[in-house]
Amino acid sequence: EAQVTQNPRYLITVTGKKLTVTCSQNMNHEYMSWYRQDPGLGLRQIYYSMNVEVTDKGDVPEGYKVSRKEKRNFPLILESPSPNQTSLYFCASSLRVGWARGTKNIQYFGAGTRLSVL
């Protein structure tokens, strides 16, 4: 089954304690991305990766790091979490496709990770 898997689903931590949220996809997708979702602000992109060893900042990258050493994995790292990083996080992946009739530029999302930083 095609899927994007995030772990953990729920996490409560304290300020300053480094944490990693893992993301893995089994669809051989080139593109992967992290979003955060906050009430009233919608989904905002944190970082994205176009392929292995290629990453770039999204709209809200401050306080986050990512790496893309393998095509299937794209972990999100919070080196020193702060309370303003309390949020619902989603990982997504898609093919990197070009113009073609009927192109399906579909993104697949993980189930989400609810993070609370105390």
Partner 1 sequence: DAKTTQPPSMDCAEGRAANLPCNHSTISGNEYVYWYRQIHSQGPQYIIHGLKNNETNEMASLIITEDRKSSTLILPHATLRDTAVYYCIVRGADSWGKLQFGAGTQVVVTP
**Binding stretches for partner 1 (CB under 8 A):** 4, 31, 33, 42-43, 45, 48, 50, 58-59, 88, 90, 92, 94-100, 103-112, 114
Pick between residue 15 and residue 28 the one whose CB is nearest to partner 1: 28
Pick between residue 80 and residue 103 the one whose CB is nearest to partner 1: 103
**Minimum gap (Å) between residue 35 Cβ and partner 1:** 8
Can you tell me the distance from the alpha carbon of 2 to that of 10, in angstroms, rounded to the nearest whole number? 22
Pick between residue 33 and residue 85 the one whose CB is nearest to partner 1: 33
**Minimum gap (Å) between residue 15 Cβ and partner 1:** 24
Identify which of 13, 15, 33 has the alpha carbon closest to the alpha carbon of residue 23.
33
DSSP for 17-66, written as a single string: --EEEEEEESS--SEEEEEEEETTTEEEEEEEEEETTEEEE-S--TT-EE
